[in-house]
Amino acid sequence: MRSASEATFRAVAATWSPRSEAVWTNCLPKPFDFPAVRAELIDIGIDLFSKQGYQQTKVEEIAVAAGMSERSFFRYFSSKDDLVMGKFEDMDDRMAELFAALPDSEPIWVSLEHVLRDIAVGGGQGAHDSADLAIDRIVRSTPSLTARYLDKMSQMQRPLIAAVRARLDSSPGDPRPAAIVGAAFACGMAAQQVWIETDYADTFEHVLAQSMAAVGPSSHLVP
């Protein structure tokens, strides 16, 4: 006597064909792109924050705009703050990659300026896009985000410090890589602050060059 499972198997096997296999395959759950969904939620959130204000925008509204439930939103981000900080994901690795792509013969300070400029202005275009500007305003006007941003800036330095140490071929006990990267980040944050306070009157590239020239040699001629 055949078992029920054997009978089921024989029944399915009898109806198999390339066409039926394709139909069954299409019915299976499709894998989703977790990073892509997060990126889409970030874009939607920033757009709503820009139109309605950060404090006025609810997670439910972001979820609805994305075509998902509020419960589904929390699979990707734990809060609105987490969503905003998601904009800075992987930035530390990108910085290290940019630095590594520059010639070893280039002065380290000049290389760091190139990295900060390219990260900030999307490859030297001279201005942030509207999403970046919105993020800047939100982060600086929200205390909880400001604190997390400063912590993130500290974390971002670590891969760059390692890259600078490799170029210098220095030991872990050498303080120069951390000092150089920390000084460059301070110049970058000072430039960003001035740029925002002056309502973006100048290009960020030029403001950054001025800031970094005050501390070390610059890749630009700054009057």
Which tens digits make up the pLDDT trace of 139-197? 888 998 999 999 999 999 999 999 999 999 999 999 999 999 999 999 999 998 898 88
Of 125, 126, 153, 158, which is closest to residue 139 (Cα–Cα)?
A: 153
- Per-residue pLDDT tens over the stretch 187-197: 999 998 898 88
pTM, 2 dp: 0.73
Give me the DSSP letters along 76-126.
Answer: T-SSHHHHHHGGGTTHHHHHHHHHHHS-TTS-HHHHHHHHHHHHHHTTT-S
- Kindly give the residue spans of alpha helices, DSSP state H, lying in the chain: 4-14, 18-27, 34-52, 59-65, 70-73, 80-85, 91-101, 108-121, 130-141, 143-168, 176-197, 204-213
**DSSP 8-state assignment for residue 61:** H
CA 52 to chain centroid, in Å, comes to 23
